[in-house]
Structure 1
Amino acid sequence: MSRKTYRSDDVCFLLRPDDVMAGIETVGAWLDAKHMARSVMKTLFQEKLVLLNGKKTNPKESVELNDELRLQMPKEKIDHDPVPMELVILYEDEDLLILDKPVGITVNSKGQVSLANGVAQYFKDNGIKRKVRFLNRLDRDTSGCIVIAKSALAQSFYQQQIEDQRFEKWYATVVQGVLLDTNIVDLPMKRGEDGIHYEVREDGKPTRTVYNGTGVFEEVEGVQLGDASGNQPSDVTDGQFGDVVATSYREVSADELATMTEADKAKLVSTVDIRLYTGKTHQIRVAMAHLGHPLVGDALYGNERAGRTYELRARRVVFTSLRTGQIVTVSAD
């Protein structure tokens, strides 16, 4: 049912001169121009939550310059058990919550505490009466930008950007061997017969991965590589043995590479920036392994020892705001 009061999460649009010049004459055409999903809008119309100048409206109603269109969001019940959890918030507005997901926690798993439970607690504490809707997924051992939509309207709006490849998802990782070029990798992928691995198969779903090698490094013997950025050495804990080890590595110059044997090059590692155009499970790990450059520490797709953690970070997302139409960049550096 329609609300008599307005809330901060209401979505409001003002019909501007450029909208009129574009030929927008009805509420329905206005909503289409704003990329509002018709399936979601049908529900809002049925619940009388779409208002034109403060009065309930319908898709066929005419609009004029300076008209105000208001979309009210229905209340929902939180669909996960709230669990107190420390969350690192990178960005938040009326429609999105973007967190820096840590390594070692799943996004949404049945039967165990996951990030969804922490988001549910945050929603409860802040009076956000919404379901938890993830727009992207990260594996347990992948960190960085995880995006949550606060409403069905926001979910459909940004999901369309993802499907149209206008919602940019950037990652940073470290791979085995020398990888310094830039390339587009189109591969069909499908879950393997063991139900765990994903494989490159002709009958798989299409994927697109774009990578850019940013540097080649030599790991100092007996230490671990600290992060995917290749910037600062640091102290990290080896999760398998519990030993504190110093992370240190040295960038290898082009002149040095030119004099190295292939065997020596195989011992090096490369930092790589990656953009995902599709979002299949294990896509980056499968693509890099297929190219002969598995992620450092990836025991599933490489030849690493079990128990070592690979380096993969969702470093940046770029999207167009639902409300303002402006480009927004959120980074987890």
Structure 2
Amino acid sequence: MTEPFTQADDARKELIAADHAEGRLDVWLAAELEGEFSRNRVKALIEQGAVEVNGATITEPKRKIRPGDTVTIVLPEPEDPEPQGEDIPLEVLYEDDDLIVISKPAGLVVHPGAGNWTGTLVNALIHHCGDSLSGIGGVRRPGIVHRLDKETSGVMVVAKNDLAHRHLADQFADHGRTGPLERAYQAVVWGRPRNLHGTIDAPLGRAHDRTRRAVKRHEGGDAREAITHYEVMERYGENPDATCLASLVECRLETGRTHQIRVHMAHIGHPLIGDPEYGGSYRTKANRLPEPARTIVNTLHRQALHAYLLAFEHPATGEVMHFEAPIPEDMETILEALRSL
């Protein structure tokens, strides 16, 4: 077992191949570094001339390792990020040398992309974290391991270094099936699901519009498993036939697909209030609300979805950490209006 390899080690580590060592250099080195770097990252470092074997620089990843070889790896200085840091206010819930936990507001895009090359969470984190970002894949940037839609608010964790990035990414890939990862959301939906709690198991894939997702009949092609567990927490405007105008629903993810909660709740006939993509046909339901609830709902310009809870294992200490973010003001205003019905 090797000590974690970070820039704080003066970016240099020397390893001695054991008596039973064999196989490709990149495979052996990735295993020796205990998952701190992916094999692709190790391969890239070798090709960049950052690895020596017995004092000679090796640029061929498939070079065979031999018992007794002395392998030295030198991390290059992290490159400056392509996105530039921007002084965008952040609500920081927790921060240390390995990660940062923030409460993302609605309206903030997570990652730069087409139409949003600036003003994103990544730009804000580069500015906020500064030199505490030791490099993800050799670039001084934050490690995004999960995302929230632009108009979804709530708790997010972001890695500051390769080791934290890989550990957190593995937890999110496992979806909490074997570890402590936990993700819970609050959603305000139209109507009330027939069952007060249940599971939506419906594969998701691309719709005709590449930015949208849709429920698919079977997995396959671009369709991937998607499972959402829900529980109705509050009901508003109940009728004698047990139907109601709207509900507050807690959703917990067993998988983490793009737009998963939004698509799944629309699939069972209860889209999120304010969702322009998957609940647009339900907007006229607001006309059934008395004032001021009608006006408040009509002026909500985003889906009523908030990631209020996140739990995970700290990648360095092993401690299970829990974070909660209170429901934001715009959603709380809607809830207060609906509770008065």
Q: Normalising to structure 2: TM-score of the pair? A: 0.64
Conservation of the 8 A alpha-carbon contact between 1:96 and 1:147: yes
Provide structure 1 residue ranges, at least 5 long, that are not aligned to the other structure: 11-26, 49-57, 62-70, 219-256
Instruction: Provide the secondary structure at the position in 2 that maps to 1:308.
Output: coil
Change (3 A) 1:298 1:72: farther
Change (3 A) 1:290 1:127: closer
Change (3 A) 1:106 1:216: same
Could you tell me which amino acid in structure 2 is paired with residue 285 of structure 1?
Answer: R
1:77 aligns with 2:79: yes
Distance 2:7 2:111 in 1: 36
Change (3 A) 1:38 1:127: closer
Q: Map 1:111-190; keep pairs closer than 5 Å.
A: 111-124=117-130, 130-166=140-176, 167-179=181-193, 181-190=196-205
The percentage of aligned residue pairs carrying the same residue is 29
Deviation string 1:263-291 (CA, Å, 9 cap, x unpaired) is xx242x11111111222111100000001
Structure 1 equivalent of residue 23 of structure 2: none
Conservation of the 8 A alpha-carbon contact between 2:163 and 2:315: no
Could you tell me which amino acid in structure 1 is paired with residue 263 of structure 2?
Answer: V
Larger fraction in strand: 1
Change (3 A) 1:182 1:84: same
Alpha-carbon offset, residue 313 of structure 1: 0.8
State the Cα RMSD in Å.
Answer: 3.6
> How many residues are matched?
255
Alpha-carbon offset, residue 143 of structure 1: 0.5
Instruction: Provide the secondary structure at the position in 1 that maps to 2:175.
Output: coil
Structure 2 equivalent of residue 260 of structure 1: 240
Alpha-carbon offset, residue 199 of structure 1: 0.7
**Which of 291, 301, 306 is matched with 1:308 structurally?**
301
Alpha-carbon offset, residue 175 of structure 1: 1.0
Distance 1:82 1:273 in 2: 35
Q: Normalising to structure 1: TM-score of the pair? A: 0.65
Distance 2:172 2:122 in 1: 21
Could you tell me which amino acid in structure 1 is paired with residue 209 of structure 2?
Answer: D
Larger fraction in helix: 2
Provide structure 2 residue ranges, at least 5 long, that are not aligned to the other structure: 13-28, 52-64, 285-297, 327-341
Task: State the 4+ residue runs in structure 1 displaced beyond 3 angstroms.
Answer: 2-7, 27-32, 35-38, 40-48, 71-75, 125-129, 305-308
1:291 aligns with 2:268: yes
Change (3 A) 1:81 1:152: same
Q: Map 1:209-224; keep pairs closer than 5 Å.
A: 209-218=228-237
Conservation of the 8 A alpha-carbon contact between 1:78 and 1:120: no
